[in-house]
Amino acid sequence: MGKYSDKNAVITGGSSGMGLAVAELLVRGGARVVITGRSQATLDAARKRLGENAVAVRGDVASLSDLDTLVGHVKSELGSIDALFVNAGIAPLTPLDSTTEEVYDELFAINVKGAFFTVQKLAPLLSANAGVVLTTSIANVIGMVDTSVYAAGKAALRSMARTFSAELLPRGIRVNAISPGPIDSGILETMMSVEAADRFRAERIASNPMGRYGTVEEFAVAAAFLAFDATYTTGVELAVDGGETQL
Ligand SMILES: NC(=O)c1ccc[n+]([C@@H]2O[C@H](COP(=O)([O-])OP(=O)(O)OC[C@H]3O[C@@H](n4cnc5c(N)ncnc54)[C@H](OP(=O)(O)O)[C@@H]3O)[C@@H](O)[C@H]2O)c1
């Protein structure tokens, strides 16, 4: 019997990076997982890597009809949910002087509206004592240059974690936020050119107390802890950041 045998989890944005690492940790422990993402090719690769205990559902969290489709798959594949990881997100840089309305709207549609409606639509399927984990970012508590829109969206999510906690506690459901610092997930390379990513990475390493990036596996262990082990903890935000927001 694995630690997560008989457990069902849904991980939005579970097709790559940190979400995929969470899926791998849980599947290795015996859980059944549903992962989501927009790219079918990325989902197929993840599903292959995870094996039979994973179901991949394509969908955009910003689309309410895609979320309804997800609810249908979760009902038929899992029945109920023991852990929900609201992790899908994008991280374009948003400099004050050049960010367009289009980028602003897309970022809030995915990172904020998408997270809210993911929880709203999947909440009826959460089992008693389920854990919900929202992926925020340390950007929401520090003034990181060129991230105002992204950071504000993650601050909204951190706030929702508190309110959702109060709203779902009568059902015994805990809701917490997990706040990654620099984690080596590959997301940087999707945000900027390779040269800019190298420069950004060097700056982040120099300012990090542990002097390094975190790994996706380190994130996954902390996320699983909040979802399954932290049974007297709700409404908090756990930083997984090498001490960057604390030291
Ligand atoms: N890595 C870091 O240093 C860091 C730090 C702080 C916070 N975060 C947050 O951590 C989360 C995971 O990021 P990551 O670093 O693991 O990057 P990643 O590898 O790019 O993962 C993002 C995941 O979200 C999915 N996704 C993006 N937009 C989506 C949408 N509209 N609908 C459904 N799925 C969507 C992606 O798949 P598709 O692109 O195929 O849709 C992918 O599965 C994000 O919320 C990010 O903001 C990351």
Query: What are the sequence ranges of the domains in the chain?
Result: 8-230
pLDDT, position 200: 86
CA of 181 to the centre of ligand 1 (A): 14
Residue-wise DSSP of 9-23:
EEEETTTSHHHHHHH
Question: Looking at the chain, how many residues does it have?
Answer: 247
pLDDT, position 116: 99
Q: One-letter amino acid identity for 50?
A: L
Angle at 13 between CA 168 and CA 101, to 5 degrees: 95
Pick the atom of ligand 1 nearest to 138's CA.
6
- Catalytic option among 104, 150, 213, 232: 150
pLDDT, position 196: 84
The number of helix segments (H) and strand segments (E) in the chain equals 9, 7
Considering only CA atoms, which residue is closest to atom 42 of ligand 1? 13
Residue 150 annotated among the catalytic residues of the structure? yes
Pick the atom of ligand 1 nearest to 39's CA.
40
CATH superfamily of 8-230: NAD(P)-binding Rossmann-like Domain (3.40.50.720)
Point out which residues pair with 174 in neighbouring strands: 131
pLDDT, position 131: 99
Residue-wise DSSP of 127-149:
EEEEEEEEE--GGGTS--TT-HH
CA of 231 to the centre of ligand 1 (A): 26
Pick the atom of ligand 1 nearest to 14's CA.
43
Kindly list the protein residues whose Cβ atom lies closer than 6 A to any atom of ligand 1.
12-13, 15-19, 36-39, 42, 60-62, 87-91, 110, 114, 135, 137, 180, 182-183, 185-187, 190
Pick the atom of ligand 1 nearest to 18's CA.
16
CA of 149 to the centre of ligand 1 (A): 16
CA of 84 to the centre of ligand 1 (A): 15
CB within 8 Å of 36: residues ≥ 6 apart: 10, 11, 12, 13, 14, 15, 43, 56, 57, 58, 59, 61, 70, 88
pLDDT per residue of the chain (247 residues) written in tens, 0 to 9: 899 999 999 999 999 999 999 999 999 999 999 999 999 999 999 999 999 999 999 999 999 999 999 999 999 999 999 999 999 999 999 999 999 999 999 999 999 999 999 999 999 999 999 999 999 999 999 999 999 999 999 999 999 999 999 999 999 999 999 999 999 998 888 778 888 888 889 999 999 999 999 999 999 999 999 999 999 999 999 999 999 999 9
CB within 8 Å of 4: residues ≥ 6 apart: 26, 29, 30, 31, 224, 228
pLDDT, position 193: 83
Nearest to 87 by CA among 144, 168, 161: 161
Considering only CA atoms, which residue is closest to atom 25 of ligand 1? 13
pLDDT, position 247: 96
If DSSP states are collapsed to H, E and C, what string results for 209-246? CCCCCECHHHHHHHHHHHHHHCCCCCCCEEEECCCCCC
Question: Which helix (DSSP H) or strand (DSSP E) does residue 116 occupy?
Answer: helix 114-122
The tokens describing 145, both together, are 């240059």
Q: How far is CA 195 from each of CA 84, 188, 189, 198, rounded to the nearest angstrom?
A: 36, 11, 9, 5
CA of 144 to the centre of ligand 1 (A): 19
Considering only CA atoms, which residue is closest to atom 44 of ligand 1? 89
Q: How far is the C-alpha of 96 from the C-alpha of 198, rounded, in Å?
A: 22
